[in-house]
């Protein structure tokens, strides 16, 4: 059986919690503390409900210190049999911040499954979802200049470099790529 993208569900709870304990993060997230992981495990339905609510409204505080309008998004998990491998978030549109940093898609592969092609596969499968879901003919992806894994994943999926930008709140330069849908 090959890995596939699924809607996050309780069926993968144990494996997802194991991934968090391994240090699984997505994008620029920081690793969760043991206490935070215990809290997620104790009320997993609440955690799922939070990530499955696509149309959260309101404002979101971004790393530049400003608040922006939250955009709708869909989360998917890459799984193989019972195992959670990674997660990917597809934002349905961009706001002013995401256009500079973050883009339409953010992802992460759990440490024990890295370097096996899953990051590349997960983005490819997510682009298929984007073709079905989004009303746009291209998506923006951004990554740190030093994140060679992410750069290769984006380029292997057809990413065309738009520019390399820097922000005073970010140590590394940011590479901005477009992928045609």
Ligand X SMILES: CC(C)(COP(=O)(O)OP(=O)(O)OC[C@H]1O[C@@H](n2cnc3c(N)ncnc32)[C@H](O)[C@@H]1OP(=O)(O)O)[C@@H](O)C(=O)NCCC(=O)NCCS
Q: Give phi and psi for 53, each to the nearest 5.
A: -80, 100
Are 102 and 77 spatial neighbours (Cβ–Cβ below 8 Å)? no
Q: How far is the CB of 101 from ligand X (least distance, A)?
A: 10
CB-wise, 70 or 114, nearer to ligand X? 114
Query: What DSSP element (H or E) covers 152?
Result: helix 148-156
CB-wise, 15 or 147, nearer to ligand X? 147
Q: Is 80 exposed, middle or buried (0-12, 13-18, 19+ CB in 10 A)?
A: middle
Q: How far is the CB of 125 from ligand X (least distance, A)?
A: 12
DSSP string, 67-101: EEE---EEEEEEEETTEEEEEEEEESS--HHHHHT
Q: How far is the CB of 124 from ligand X (least distance, A)?
A: 10
The candidate with the shortest Cα–Cα distance to 67, out of 96, 94, 101, is: 96
User: Which residues of the chain form contacts with ligand X (CB under 6 A)?
Assistant: 25, 27, 107-109, 114-120, 143, 147-150, 152-153, 156
CB-wise, 8 or 108, nearer to ligand X? 108
Q: How far is the CB of 49 from ligand X (least distance, A)?
A: 24
CB-wise, 48 or 153, nearer to ligand X? 153
């Amino acid at each position: 059986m090959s890995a596939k993208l699924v809607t996050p569900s309780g069926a993968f709870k144990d494996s997802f919690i194991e991934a968090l304990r391994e240090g699984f993060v997505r994008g620029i997230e920081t690793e969760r503390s043991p206490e935070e992981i215990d809290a997620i495990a104790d009320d997993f339905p609440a955690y799922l409900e939070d990530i499955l609510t696509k149309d959260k409204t309101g404002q979101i505080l971004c790393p530049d210190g400003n608040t922006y309008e939250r955009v709708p998004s869909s989360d998917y998990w890459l799984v193989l049999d019972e195992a959670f491998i990674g997660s990917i978030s597809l934002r349905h549109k961009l706001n002013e911040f995401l256009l500079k940093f973050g883009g339409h898609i953010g992802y992460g592969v759990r440490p024990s499954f890295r370097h096996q092609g899953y990051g590349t596969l997960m983005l490819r499968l997510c682009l298929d979802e984007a073709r079905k879901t989004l009303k746009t003919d291209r998506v923006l992806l951004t990554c740190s200049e030093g994140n060679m894994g992410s750069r290769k994943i984006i380029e292997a999926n057809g990413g065309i470099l738009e520019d390399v930008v820097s922000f005073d709140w970010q140590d590394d330069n940011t590479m901005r790529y477009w992928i045609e849908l």
